[in-house]
Structure 1
Amino acid sequence: MGIVTTNDGVEIFYKDWGRGQPIVFSHGWPLSADDWDAQMLFFLGKGYRVIAHDRRGHGRSTQTDDHHDMDHYADDLAAVTAHLDLRDAIHVGHSTGGGEVVRYIARHGESRVAKAAIISAVPPLMVRTAANPGGLPKAVFDDFQAQLAANRSEFYRAVASGPFYNYNRPGTERSEAIIQNWWRQGMMGGAKAHYDGIVAFSQTDFTSDLKKIGVPVLVMHSEDDQIVPYADSGPLSAKLLKNGTLKTYKGFPHGMPTTQADIINVDLLTFIES
């Protein structure tokens, strides 16, 4: 593990394990690099070099009070890849991390990138607008911010024990350990970063970014995603990409890299090695 300092003085924590072709993981809101444990151990065992960082304001990175937006998220990722001089990298992003990966490739180019995968990801645009009538009302995200400001601990517990892992679905077996680990990661980060991050993941329009990307991209999304609804995300992103492939799952939750790691990991490996 290590630290890279960005141009604006933010310290970004990262893990860097193994040798071989690098796979770089970008986590979702409001979590940390720890959310990729199952993937990092799996791909490390397959001979890959695995890297994951804590987004600014999240996990063990600096709890700065500003610049919590997709451009800075992408620039921070670029700082990590440049610091480690990563080449021929595969980028994998979950949820907000999927937006980070898309913005990074579109903003910084493909010279270091071989392929990418976005899982349960926020692109093209989450919030409802005149041009995006299938999006969620802005009031949904305003309520997220209000709940975070009122009692972040209770809000995070409710998200993890309910819609994030589909634990509110009848017949779904809950894992208290998974719920507590989600809450732990969330509470490690800064409240201001997470508050502003809600705007970043919900209001950023990635349409033009997706159109710029030429490397192969696997878009993985579940039809039962309760956080980033399927119809207005995965299929639209796959269509906007020049070389996108949509992989649709039935009944999986938003947090499927954790609860369905055995399936997600194999599907990622198949894509990476194809």
Structure 2
Amino acid sequence: MKIKVQSNIELYVKDIGKGQPILFIHGWPFNHTQYEYQFNRFLELGYRCIAVDMRGAGKSDAPWEALSSKNTLYTYDTFADDIKKVIDDLELKNIILVGFSIGGAMVLHYLAKYSCYQVSKALLLGAAAPLFTKREDFNFPSFDKASVDKLVEDIKYDRPKAVADFANNVFHKEVSLPFRDWIQQMCMSMDANATIKWLISLRDFDLRSDMSKVNVPTAIFHGKNDKICPFELGQTLHKNIKSSKLVIFEESGHGLWHDELEKFNTEFINFIKQ
């Protein structure tokens, strides 16, 4: 289905099943299909599974914005507003809200901006939060602003190679060639303009003030071998979010949802059943 979030922007939403809703927000530059290994399991357990292609990704609309202009269409504020519009249009309540990587940052900002509206529990998966790039007073991230700027330039001139190089660092364990091809196709399904604008939000936004505003039980899943969002980010979130639980994935990189698939799904289910 499509949900209109602004007069000229519609988001694709996959909504299957009945029961307590689990709302999934994907990472960069992925789309809702990232979560098929969770849909398969959780639908059988009686949950309603909802996954959104965020603006610019997958089957959703991708409003164009000049790369030289200020980023206004792909900010954490607009992402949070879109999440709320989906929640309101679908009349969701008692939601389990889930976000991976930048999707985790989107979830964090939604919880802070809208006071955890209609959310009963949250899961932050390898979250690119509270910061994705280094600051003088925050040195945990793997990336600095210059390295993100280089990635932006690489995308401008060879997007397939740039996203393939990124995807090669997502998983800690070896994946099959067909699986790697599937990830590459997923990455390339994101609009080219949005691919860069999302990166600019990752580079620039500081969500440290959001952490203290989260007041629902929150699980923080993080891989010890994450090369994109280092494990220290998960520790920082755990330290600063009340009622949070840190679940460590010893054998996972950034893509913990597949590196340790069975543990991931089991820990996920245990948390939401508590």
TM range (shorter): over 0.9
For 2:148, the equivalent position in structure 1 comes to 141
Cα distance in 2 for partners of 1:8, 1:122 equals 29
Q: What's the CA shift for 1:110?
A: 2.2
1:211 aligns with 2:212: yes
Give the RMSD, CA atoms, in angstroms.
1.2
Cα distance in 2 for partners of 1:223, 1:270 equals 20
1:241 aligns with 2:241: yes
Cα distance in 2 for partners of 1:272, 1:202 equals 31
For 2:193, the equivalent position in structure 1 comes to 192
Cα distance in 2 for partners of 1:173, 1:56 equals 31
Structure 1: gaps (5+ residues): 167-171
The correspondence for 2:93, drawn from 73, 77, 87, is 87
Q: What's the CA shift for 1:72?
A: 0.7
| Matching of residues 114-193 of structure 1 within 5 Å | 114-135=120-141, 136-160=143-167, 162-166=168-172, 172-193=173-194
Q: What's the CA shift for 1:82?
A: 0.7
Q: Say if 2:2 and 2:13, in contact at 8 Å, map to a contact too.
A: yes
Instruction: Specify the SS of the correspondent of 1:182.
Output: helix
How many residue pairs get aligned? The number is 266
Structure 2: gaps (5+ residues): 66-72
Cα distance in 1 for partners of 2:211, 2:52 equals 23
Cα distance in 1 for partners of 2:100, 2:33 equals 13
Bigger Cα displacement from structure 2, 116-125 vs 242-251: 242-251
For 1:65, the equivalent position in structure 2 comes to 64
| Matching of residues 104-119 of structure 1 within 5 Å | 104-119=110-125
What percentage of aligned pairs have identical amino acids?
Answer: 29
Instruction: Specify the SS of the correspondent of 2:27.
Output: coil
Per-residue CA distance 1:109-128 (angstroms, 9 max, x = gap): 22311000001001111211
Q: Say if 1:35 and 1:258, in contact at 8 Å, map to a contact too.
A: no
For 2:38, the equivalent position in structure 1 comes to 39
Per-residue CA distance 1:128-160 (angstroms, 9 max, x = gap): 112213333211111211111111111222222
